[in-house]
Structure 1
Amino acid sequence: MTANDADGRLSPDEAFAALGDEVRVGILRSLGDAAEPLAFSELYDRLPVEDTSRFNYHLGELRGHFVRKDEAGYALDHPGRRVVEAIRSGAVTDDPDFERTSIDDRCPACDGRLEIRWCDGSIEVFCPGCENRWERSSGRVDAAEEPESGYLGRLPFPPAGLRNREAEEAFRAAHAWTVVELLAVGTGICPRCAATVETELDACPDHEDDGTCSNCRSSFAVVFRASCTNCPYHVGSAAALGLLSSPALLGFMLDHDIDPLAPRSVRLFDRFFSEYDEAIGSMDPLRVTLTFSLDGDELALRVDESGEIVDVSS
């Protein structure tokens, strides 16, 4: 394996070319499964390759970047671990068959039983008794939903998360996974590549409060958006979820026994983030006040167009 500059780094083309063989992928997977470094003979015995010279050639193409060798044997280097993590997550290969299924968790609006399914890297959430909360504008083109589908949103979740979990468990795991992502985004970190993210609030000037607005295709007048400055990652949500990492909001939730990472009820968490008040103070510059109420207590957060909190009152 050759590097493209004096720093020893590979170009993306060189890195992906080095992975373009099933023997090399098998080597990475075998090293990923091993608890300790493997001797050449141990690694060779784990793969269905009869020619040692051919095996040695492919191993050599991985050394120096994806695989390292020391006195203990062969082991994955950091780039190799990341490749195996991506493979094991199923994110680049798997398309699980997870049809729309009813679960015990309840809709925060009508108390009806939720339904979920996995599609295009996410668990999608529906309530048959409600109108769509969002227009289903992301995901596969052929996955359009009828207006009465009750689409509530999507929770990003790799296929591996479905393994050994019942539907209810998968939903709760996806909820926690999404909260972790939003916490990262709220602190300016891309949850995919760790680069910086740019955030903004967008307000609908002619919002219709009854159901999904025909102008903005959302049930929320103010939405939060974030985009990575380095990779294709982007996310959109209700404005309040974009403030999840705020100490003021986190403290208010914890003071009222709502743990965002392990809520005693996902429904309580969802209700908290769907029943707050939105007040648009001005459109240019955009100033929005979000007011949360729990057990007679209130927290008001005044937010600017970038999603920064400029004032807190309670």
Structure 2
Amino acid sequence: MPGSDFTLAADPDGDAEDAFSLLADETRLAIVRALAASPREPLSFSELRDRVGVADSGRFNYHLGKLTGRFVKKSEEGYEIRLAGWAVVGAILAGAYTRGDDIGAIPVDHRCSTCDGRVEATYVDERVTVRCTDCDRTFLDAGIPPGVLEGYDDADLPEVADRYVGSLLAQARRGFCMSCQGRMEPHLSVGADDPRTDDVFEEPQAVYGCARCREKIVTGIGMAYLDHPAVVSFYYDHGVDLSQPFLWGTAWHDKPTLSVVADDPLRAAIDFEVEDETLTLTIDEGLEVHGVERSPAP
């Protein structure tokens, strides 16, 4: 995505350390995975033990008891996996697929919107980058688990990366952390001289920070309004469907511009220009929209 940079920096507290310690055993992981493989109905103690393959009933009961409550639910019908257990299995599967080599460079069909140069995508050390080879403009820089790419050809990398990162950004815009599901708090950074934030960016950015962990999503300001109805309809009226992939080639051909119009409270205007029209959103420090105006481009 234009100007996007997705980073992950976990900061587990004591509760998280306790949770991970409960899973530091192959038998316990096998229990969680067995329950995930049978989500339609609870499993009895004996059924679950048979699927895990532990002959010693006492040993199995000990490990199952450690998981019950946090990762496993016990009822009269038997044992079921809890949402926390699903998260563990999902993380295992996301990292289970590994590549023996990196991917790149994969040509991207769309030309650079800044210089009309050639755009390429690479995947190195679990990170995808989409960049212009001529002016070095970066359209996408994001960490992607290897499991996301399982089943796809190398040539599919740009589209898969675009769809995956778009889903993470949509989740952040709706207020949920992609790592711990905590509350994401959005704010506007207006540039390197912004006194309101410790972040230092050369251009205005939308920043989503998790209130629970240290996860942070940083993206070009236009991407914060990718699903705003005024923005969606504005581009659709000009023949651009924002739900389609490869936004670096179809939308933001001329990057949205931002200008600060008031300081206390902070108000900024974002201008989206297509052909002979301008859409202006007036926003605050928390990225909330306070005004919408469409007018002929100057």
Q: Secondary structure at the match of 2:234?
A: helix
Equivalent residue number for residue 202 of structure 1 = 190
Tell me which amino acid in the other structure corresponds to 1:293.
Answer: E
Question: CA deviation digits over 1:172-205, x for unaligned, max 9?
Answer: 2321222233233334443441414131222356
Equivalent residue number for residue 77 of structure 1 = 82
Tell me which amino acid in the other structure corresponds to 1:226.
Answer: Y
Question: CA deviation digits over 1:235-285, x for unaligned, max 9?
Answer: 11111112224322122233334333334x54434xx23513525345845
Equivalent residue number for residue 141 of structure 2 = 154
Distance 1:217 1:202 in 2: 8
Q: 1:197 to 1:99 in 2, by over 3 A?
A: same
Distance 1:305 1:129 in 2: 34
Tell me which amino acid in the other structure corresponds to 1:166.
Answer: D
1:268 equivalenced with 2:249 (yes/no): yes
Structure 1 portions without partners, runs of 5+: 1-9, 134-150, 206-215
Distance 2:15 2:192 in 1: 43
1:40 equivalenced with 2:45 (yes/no): yes
Q: Secondary structure at the match of 2:52?
A: coil
- Check whether the contact 2:121–2:158 (CA below 8 A) recurs between aligned residues: no
Equivalent residue number for residue 173 of structure 1 = 160
Structure 2 portions without partners, runs of 5+: 1-13, 194-199
Equivalent residue number for residue 118 of structure 2 = 112
Distance 1:71 1:279 in 2: 59
Name the Cα RMSD after superposition: 3.1
Q: 1:274 to 1:302 in 2, by over 3 A?
A: farther
Q: 1:103 to 1:167 in 2, by over 3 A?
A: farther
- Check whether the contact 2:117–2:135 (CA below 8 A) recurs between aligned residues: no
Q: 1:102 to 1:45 in 2, by over 3 A?
A: same
1:24 Cα deviation after fit:
0.2
1:292 equivalenced with 2:278 (yes/no): no
Tell me which amino acid in the other structure corresponds to 1:106.
Answer: H
Distance 1:85 1:74 in 2: 19
Question: CA deviation digits over 1:207-248, x for unaligned, max 9?
Answer: xxxxxxxxx774xx3222221222211111111112224322
Equivalent residue number for residue 223 of structure 1 = 205
Q: 1:289 to 1:12 in 2, by over 3 A?
A: closer
Equivalent residue number for residue 209 of structure 1 = none
Equivalent residue number for residue 4 of structure 1 = none
Q: Secondary structure at the match of 1:237?
A: strand
Counterparts of 1:276-287 in structure 2, within 5 Å, are 276-281=255-260, 284=263, 287=267
User: After TM superposition, which residue ranges in structure 1, 4 or more long, deviate above 6 angstroms?
Assistant: none
1:47 Cα deviation after fit:
3.1
- Check whether the contact 1:289–1:301 (CA below 8 A) recurs between aligned residues: yes
Distance 1:52 1:257 in 2: 65
Q: Secondary structure at the match of 2:183?
A: coil
Distance 1:157 1:198 in 2: 22
Question: CA deviation digits over 1:258-314, x for unaligned, max 9?
Answer: 333334x54434xx2351352534584555433222343321223344333333211
Distance 2:149 2:293 in 1: 41
TM-score after normalising by structure 1: 0.72
- Check whether the contact 1:31–1:43 (CA below 8 A) recurs between aligned residues: yes
Distance 1:309 1:293 in 2: 18
Equivalent residue number for residue 254 of structure 1 = 236
After TM superposition, the structure 1 stretch with the greater mean CA deviation from structure 2, 247-256 or 15-24, is 247-256
1:23 Cα deviation after fit:
0.7
Q: Which has the higher contact order (CA 8 A, sep 6+)?
A: 2
Question: CA deviation digits over 1:40-93, x for unaligned, max 9?
Answer: 343333335343332222122212331123454332122212221222222xx7
Q: 2:214 aligns with which of 232, 240, 244?
A: 232
Distance 1:81 1:89 in 2: 12
Distance 2:207 2:108 in 1: 30
Q: 1:78 to 1:277 in 2, by over 3 A?
A: closer
1:186 equivalenced with 2:167 (yes/no): no
Distance 1:189 1:128 in 2: 34
Tell me which amino acid in the other structure corresponds to 2:123.
Answer: R
